[in-house]
Amino acid sequence: MMEYLSELKECTLCQWRCGVDRLKGEFGVCETGIPIVASKTLHPAPPKSLTIFMEGCNFRCLNCQNWDIAHSKCTGKNNFIEPRKLAIEGIEKINSYSGKRIGADRLFFSGGSPTPSIPYIERVVEEARKIEDIKVNFDTNGFMTKSSLKRVLDFTTSITFDIKAYHDDVHRAITGAPVKPVLRNAEYLVENAVDKLWEFRYLLIPGVNEEDVFHLSRFLSDIDEEVPLNFLAFRPNFVMENYRGVEKGELEKAVKKAKDAGLQNVSWSGLPGIKGNSTVLDQTRYTQPGAKIAGGIAEDKGCITHPRDCNSCTALKDCKIKRYEPSKKT
């Protein structure tokens, strides 16, 4: 096995710090073995790029939009792409007619979450920059160690940073993970490398994380009132396939709340108004009303640990959330 992947023998790349030997087939929360590219595509959404989707994720979000990439059990050694090969292909695609037509100017690593693949991505970027001084974006859920974040800052031009909620129990109910490391990393990023922050992104789920908007915005504006925050429209998806989509008015209200909390650069995007049911299931081991709703949905679909905490959960290897198969792909 390649030397640059040797740290996967005792993986502590993200805040779960599982310490498992991913090269020997042991799985941590992300269930990612060696880094595998699920797909790559030219993407016209800013920052325009060749987006490279890495398999696996260290979260188990109920509303995952890329569940087929994030939650497949990643054992696909046969699909491994040598970093130099991916680097050459990436540069070629960006410089192709199609790449130029959309204005693509960077490699954009997404997923799943690219965090479990950091050593691989570092090598791809190194190889790519031997060819040309290419820009690189890293798309993160923020749940990595501080030392991983510093590594990411070393090779990135821009960072798109998702924050799922502000209150810990809302964040746990949605993702299965605590929020503190995410907020710590958001703060570190703004204080130390704000020029690399493309934007914070917040997927607005009606009734679930709406109440967190003001608190998160105040948290961010206390660090720097100019940081950009974009609300993305939730659509019924994955484990939350029967929950209702957010309405345009709710996105506009979130923008207003964020501005009232002191942020100056706030926007929303996505496709609002997708119908769904509004089944509300109440899980009592949460405090925030939105956490009760998301926790209730998780419990209904088989999550056994509440408040959700995937790394300490006895069902980790047989997680009904991770294995959930929605009736439709939206």
| Site residues, ligand SF4 (CB under 6 A) | 11-14, 16-18, 20, 22, 28-30, 32, 58, 60, 115-116, 176, 303-305, 308-310, 313, 315-316, 319, 321-322
Query: Least distance to ligand SF4 from the beta carbon of 306, Å?
Result: 8
When the beta carbons of 195 and 312 are compared against ligand SF4, the nearer one is 312
Query: Least distance to ligand SF4 from the beta carbon of 322, Å?
Result: 6
Measured CA to CA, the distance from residue 198 to residue 204 in angstroms comes to 19
When the beta carbons of 116 and 290 are compared against ligand SF4, the nearer one is 116
β-sheet with 266-269: strand ranges across: 37-43, 49-54, 106-110, 135-140, 158-162, 197-204, 229-233, 266-269
Using an 8 Å Cβ cutoff, are 305 and 295 in contact? no
When the beta carbons of 51 and 115 are compared against ligand SF4, the nearer one is 115
Contacts with 107 (C-beta within 8 Å, 6 or more apart), sequence order: 49, 50, 52, 90, 94, 124, 125, 128, 134, 135, 136, 137
When the beta carbons of 226 and 309 are compared against ligand SF4, the nearer one is 309
Using an 8 Å Cβ cutoff, are 131 and 83 in contact? no
Query: Least distance to ligand SF4 from the beta carbon of 155, Å?
Result: 17
* Token pair 């924050």: residue: 163
Other Cβ atoms less than 10 A from the Cβ of 199: the count is: 19
Query: Least distance to ligand SF4 from the beta carbon of 54, Å?
Result: 11
When the beta carbons of 78 and 314 are compared against ligand SF4, the nearer one is 314
Residue nearest to ligand SF4 as judged by C-beta position: 28
Query: Least distance to ligand SF4 from the beta carbon of 109, Å?
Result: 14
* Token pair 């109920």: residue: 62
